[in-house]
A and B are shown apart, each in its own frame.
Chain A
Amino acid sequence: MEGAADQTTKALSELAMDSSTTLNAAESSAGDGAGPRSKNALKKEQKMKQKEEEKRRKDEEKAEKAKQAPKASSQKAVAADDEEMDATQYYENRLKYLAAEKAKGENPYPHKFAVSMSIPKYIETYGSLNNGDHVENAEESLAGRIMSKRSSSSKLFFYDLHGDDFKVQVMADASKSGLDEAEFLKLHSNAKRGDIVGVIGFPGKTKRGELSIFPRSFILLSHCLHMMPRKADNVNAKKPEIWVPGQTRNPEAYVLKDQESRYRQRHLDMILNVEVRQIFRTRAKIISYVRRFLDNKNFLEVETPMMNMIAGGAAARPFVTHHNDLDMRLYMRIAPELYLKQLIVGGLERVYEIGKQFRNEGIDLTHNPEFTTCEFYMAFADYNDLMEMTEVMLSGMVKELTGGYKIKYNANGYDKDPIEIDFTPPFRRIEMIGELEKVAKLNIPKDLASEEANKYLIDACARFDVKCPPPQTTARLLDKLVGEFLEPTCVNPTFIINQPEIMSPLAKWHRSKSGLTERFELFINKHELCNAYTELNDPVVQRQRFADQLKDRQSGDDEAMALDETFCNALEYGLAPTGGWGLGIDRLSMLLTDSLNIKEVLFFPAMRPPQEESAAAQAPLTEEKK
């Protein structure tokens, strides 16, 4: 009974915080709304709800505290009052405090703080002290964010100081502060959870073995003006393991759980959820590994334009913008391919680019309007070389990050058992058409460019109830069937190879299999991660392929590729036999960080503006501030 009540109180507390952060998010995006009356009505309703929520939370919290601590000290009472305050009042009080400090000529935002040691280093250096030991002749300076605060009297305050994903306790004792009792109490009354502070003092361990710093000086560096969400204190809960690559994540342990709030206020997400910072460190390591791998193979990193006069290089819908001075339309690139190949023509034999691509498409679990890829081009190599390089790169990366070749991945949701994905090379290879025919028991006409093949595939899709929206080109039909029959079987890394020419306008025809190309796609956990081929370097054939794409475009396929005259012209100067390769960095990061939503691996993912009603409700406030 008591446990249940406690749980309910915590849940309500978090709900209140979520509401508060949601309001903040709404506030940040003022939008057009209904008329004045409607706005006022919505505003009143919102305030009413908020007040009710706060009141309920306050009542329950008061009851809880009265039950558990009937003889709370005056200091605890002060802290409790802060925590019981509603978010708006808390914010106003903090602003008043800042204004008061400035009025006295104090600067509440100092310019710097000389850190003598990082918190992880401090822990490493002094972690071996014995319980109760103090090293009063040593002086260290630490800085970080206060995430918890408690006191045992008006002369003794305890803080958890967080920095660089580690924390250390601060034990502030009035008798060592050099301040009189009133000054000491005032200073520490003004230090709130979320504030960033600098501590100068000596190291030691408490009698119970908690490594601490005992401040002789305690300086507020920056202030958290908003109430920091509090972590639910569940004594029975296991302390979650620190996440490392290859293991599954534990989002249930997050202090801030609401996905919308986490993505919209990533700064708060990172403050509260240490695991989130580890995710992004891992992403940085992945990119660093790819770069090192390619640099060691003498590839040259290059930068090609993100804005182009023509949309080309892949089949996708571009963002369009306009250059004022030149008075011309520019397209955000959807792939850097054509420029990188021009560099191979120019005599650079190995080039790569890690950068953003832009596609004006819907947002979902695995798509963001801007995403990061690595593409490389290697003269005198073919797709067999690329498959081998892919295996070496990815298996080596997984080994370096995790110590082994297998990772756990919550492919079916965090509430179900994770699957295991094995990166041990070599990766399985299956031929697209051959395997599709075998698995789906099809007998596809040889000439894939024929009407006969198109009709056959339309029938096959109908028979298997595979949906293919118009236009029903043979390429799209094949794509749907492969998605239905082959992709789901590719959990461990699998190369689907030898795609048909009609699906691969930039890939070279297969040297021994008519109608096919020397292309592969790497699938892991049923999703495409990598796309590569022996590059088409015959300019005559390339022009023909572009012409075919134009036909598809005219029949309504707006993802068909446009002719790029500059690129065709470049090929005519001679492109060496070349292998070209592209990898989705975001998707790879998702796999190696056990993320199901691409937003988890993007610091600031694209978000829909907050709901219009909320925005409308907040509009008056925004106007007021302005």
Chain B
Amino acid sequence: MEALKVWSLTATPLKQLLRLSSSSTRLATTIYGRRSYHLSPALRCASAASSSSSSATTAETSKPSGRNRRSASSSNSTSDREAIRSIRLKKVEELRGQGLEPYAYKWEKSHSANQLQEIYKHLANGEESDNEIDCVSIAGRVVARRAFGKLAFLTLRDDSGTIQLYCEKERLSDDQFEQLKQFIDIGDILGASGSMKRTEKGELSICVNSFSILTKSLLPLPDKYHGLTDIDKRYRQRYVDMIANPEVADVFRRRAKIVSEIRKTVESFGYLEVETPVLQGAAGGAEARPFVTFHNSLGRDLYLRIATELHLKRMLVGGFEKVYEIGRIFRNEGISTRHNPEFTTIEMYEAYSDYHSMMDMAELIVTQCSMAVNGKLTIDYQGTEICLERPWRRETMHNLVKEITGINFSELGEDLGNAKDTVLLALQDVLEPKDKSGIRACSSLGHLLNEIFEVVVEPKLVQPTFVLDYPIEISPLAKPHRGNAGLTERFELFICGREMANAFSELTDPVDQRTRLEEQVRQHNAKRAEAVRESPEPNAKKDDDDDESYEVTLDEDFLTALEYGMPPASGMGLGIDRLVMLLTNSASIRDVIAFPVLKLQQ
């Protein structure tokens, strides 16, 4: 394990350095998640090559690595953060002493950095635009700084990219140039105006006529900051992460584009976006442990929703025929690279349709999003090529289990004990002990089928696959299959072995629904009773950890609504965080959530 880790670290930095030296532009196929992680070792190497902070920062702007060695030392070479902060606080005071405000009120930008790079593409090396009629104005953060006598170069980064500032003492007033040398540090936010010029070496630059310090930063940017070697800190201080790694912001731009594309796609079919309560009197619509809170003036417990389903269905009863909600869901469960206590889904419901419509909709949404953010349908996810081209495979759970394990559940007979024995015998070579325990614990044939599916089949569903016709025992809200007893009209969508969507023809029979929900409550309470029995002296800690410690109650409001008549309908939930992970090639859910929930800092 340790040896493998060492080897991995040894190999990757070399690739990273090669990438830095071989390419001056960001490649469309850059694997952001991976690069973010490996950038630190590269930076460490770069830092070792020279002791100044500006060289490492220069590396981030993708200049040829040879230039790293030519940097001048900066005025803030000390590595001690507190000392730097102290020094910069003094600069703030000195600036104010001179009647200058280091925290400006606004700045008028005429262009973004990328716009300038584009508009002045035509300038030849050494050429300068007409200073009188072609004055531009820009603002951004200083990410590199070099000064030589009467000349200074600053690299400014804004939302769109970077541009160089070319500062000649002759062109600036004496005060301004001295101010620039004395007070400006990497990390400061600057506004500058001037004319455009391409240097003899080919760098497009602004010949600065005047500038303003807009924000004086107090803390140094993290070229030596340990946060870059600690993934936890990247998430804890996302703003530093984004300053140091511009590609991180790109993930969130893509996320916004994906959400926007989903909305556009769904609304083009006439769906109405709605908002339903986060705080509810009862937690229902899924099986999950809820967060509990307390409303002071109502004097009652409230639960954070674990699904939006029950409220959205009430709207179909109310006469809306197509509704959707993009919103947050809360589950009081463990944290992992694939789970965050709060996550985002879209849930949609359509009257008079069945689950086949939702398969078409799922395909359409995912392909539209992939085209919007990637421009293609064949994508790479963590080293695996995924083809999103429609149509996607649609296969029943029974057939998939049979295909992969050879077990035909239709022929196992009604006896649960015999079925378990048959399954355990057939799969004894591939099952882990905990899997075997899971199988023995199954309470019905439906649960058994689902258990085998999850353990053996699910990880193999790499290309987009709709798994159809779930057993009725594990689908309390889905309608019975119109042709196959014991099954429901439900599907789940799997890509890369992960569930992306869950959908069904909705159960609209209020009598059947009541029976199933009552059974769900009964089973839940039975488990609670059993858990209590198994621990004669439970303490508070154990009770908290118990998966079944929370209360589940019937949602009478929902059942009453169904009794007013709900049209035949289909509904689907799609995990937006997971979709964003897939389409931005992110390994961890934390990479696609700007501020994930983290443990308390030690």
Q: Which residues of A contact B209 (CB under 8 A)?
A: none
Q: How far is the CA of A596 from the CA of B195 in the complex (A)?
A: 56
> A27-B556, A538-B103 are contacts. A574–B141 as well, Cβ < 8 Å?
yes
Question: For the complex, what is the distance from the CA of A226 to the CA of B554, rounded to whole Å?
Answer: 19
| A303-B344, A347-B242, A626-B518 known; A267 vs B189 contact (CB < 8 Å) | no
Q: Which of B376-414 contact A (CB under 8 A)?
A: none
Chain A positions 334-363 with a Cβ under 8 Å from a chain B Cβ: 339, 342-343, 345-350, 355-356, 358, 360-363
A305–B545 CB distance below 8 A: no
Nearest CB of chain A from residue B31's CB, rounded to whole Å: 20
A325 touching B335, Cβ below 8 Å: yes
A226 and B320 in contact (CB under 8 A), knowing A332-B293, A370-B279? no
Q: Quick check: B278 and A306 within 8 Å, CB to CB?
A: yes
Q: Contacts of A208 on B, CB cut-off 8 Å?
A: none
> Given A222, A328, A348, which contacts B508 in the complex, CB threshold below 8 Å?
A222
Q: Which residues of A contact B259 (CB under 8 A)?
A: 301
Chain B interface category by residue count: 35 or more
User: Given the complex, which residues of B lie within 8 Å of A267, measured CB to CB?
Assistant: 314-315, 317-318, 561, 564
Which of chain B's residues have a CB closer than 8 A to the CB of A419?
A: none
Interface status of B296 (Cβ within 8 A of chain A) = yes
Enumerate chain B residues within 8 angstroms of A309, measured Cβ to Cβ. 600
Within 8 A of A (CB), among B559-577: 559-561, 563-568, 570
Does A459 count as interface, using CB distance less than 8 angstroms?
Answer: no
Residues of B within 8 A of A324 (CB): 289, 332, 544-545
The answer for the CA separation of A449 and B314 in the assembled complex, in Å, is 53
- Report if A74 contacts B (CB, 8 A): no
Q: Cα distance A276–B439 when bound, in Å?
A: 50
The contact string, 1 if C-beta is below 8 Å from chain B, for chain A 366-377, is: 000110100000
In the complex, A104 has a CB within 8 A of chain B: no
Task: Give the residues in chain B near A320, CB-CB below 8 Å.
Answer: 293-294
| Nearest-neighbor residue (CB-CB) of B543 within chain A | A324
Which residue from chain B places its CB closest to the CB of A222 in the assembled complex? B565
In contact, A194 and B564 (Cβ under 8 angstroms): yes
A600 contacts the other chain (CB 8 A):
no
Q: Is the CB of B275 within 8 A of A112?
A: no
Contact A284/B564 with A109-B479, A322-B292 known, Cβ cut-off 8 Å? no
CB distance from B540 to the nearest CB of A (A): 11
Query: How many contacts between A and B, using CB within 8 angstroms?
Result: 340
Which residues of B lie under 8 Å from residue A608 when comparing CB positions?
A: 298
A300 near B252 with CB under 8 A, answer yes
Most chain A Cβ neighbours within 10 Å, of B89, B214, B255, B260: B214
CB neighbours (8 Å) of B341 from chain A are 307, 323
Q: Are B342 and A305 in contact (CB under 8 A)?
A: yes
**In the complex, A94 Cα to B320 Cα: how many Å?**
25
B565 and A196 contacting across the interface, CB-CB below 8 Å = yes
Give complex CA distance A228, B381 in Å: 54
Q: How far is the CB of B460 from chain A (nearest CB, A)?
A: 29
- A303–B252 Cα distance when bound, in Å, is 9
Q: Is A604 within 8 A of B564, CB to CB?
A: no
Find chain B residues with CB under 8 A from A300 CB.
252-253, 256
> Which residues of B are found within 8 Å of A372, using beta-carbon distances?
275
Question: B189 near A576 (CB under 8 angstroms)?
Answer: yes
Min CB distance A207 to B, Å, is: 30
Docked pose: A508 CA to B289 CA in angstroms: 43
Contact B92 A540, beta carbon cutoff 8 Å: yes
- Are the CB atoms of B139 and A576 closer together than 8 Å? yes
Q: Which residues of A contact B291 (CB under 8 A)?
A: 307, 321-323, 330
Query: Please, which residues of chain B bring their CB within 8 A of the CB of A165?
Result: 319
Q: Is B97 an interface residue (CB 8 A)?
A: no
What is the distance, in angstroms, from A529's C-beta to the closest C-beta of chain B?
A: 18
Tell me the minimal C-beta distance from B61 to chain A in angstroms: 13
How far, in whole Å, are A345 and B248 apart by their CA atoms in the complex?
13
Least Cβ distance of A198 to chain B in Å?
Answer: 8
Residues of B within 8 A of A537 (CB): 103, 215
Residues of chain B in range 206-242 having any CB-CB distance to chain A below 8 Å: 214-219, 221, 236-242
Q: Which residues of B contact A224 (CB under 8 A)?
A: 563-565
State whether B85 touches A572 (Cβ < 8 A). yes
Given A108, A115, A321, A609, which contacts B293 in the complex, CB threshold below 8 Å?
Answer: A321
Query: Given the complex, which residues of B lie within 8 Å of A342, measured CB to CB?
Result: 238-239, 595
* Docked CA distance A493–B170 (Å): 51
Which of B65-73, B105-113, B462-470, B529-537 contacts the other chain? Answer: B105-113
Interface segment, one of A7-15, A61-69, A380-388: A380-388
Task: Verify if A265 is at the interface (C-beta below 8 Å from B).
Answer: yes
List chain A residues, Cβ under 8 A from B237.
566, 569-570
The answer on a CB contact under 8 Å between A343 and B594 is yes
Partner of B276, one of A109, A511, A572, A603: A603
B364 to A: closest C-beta gap in Å: 19
Q: Which of A164, A281, A385 contacts B106 (CB 8 A)?
A: A385
A379 to chain B minimum Cβ distance, whole angstroms, is 8
A112-B505 contact in complex given A145-B319, A270-B320, A573-B243, C-beta closer than 8 Å: yes
Residue B281 at the A interface, CB < 8 A?
yes
- Chain A residues lying within 8 Å of B214, measured Cβ to Cβ, are 380, 576-577
**Cross-chain contact of B319 among A271, A369, A540 (Cβ < 8 A):** A271
State the 4 A-B residue pairs at the shortest beta-carbon distance, nearest first.
A270-B318, A346-B242, A574-B217, A28-B556
29 CB contacts below 8 A, A to B, read A28-B557, A91-B563, A112-B354, A115-B352, A143-B351, A196-B566, A222-B565, A222-B568, A270-B315, A277-B318, A280-B274, A280-B320, A303-B328, A306-B330, A307-B597, A317-B296, A321-B291, A326-B600, A327-B544, A343-B594, A346-B243, A358-B279, A370-B277, A511-B101, A538-B92, A570-B237, A579-B106, A602-B277, A609-B281
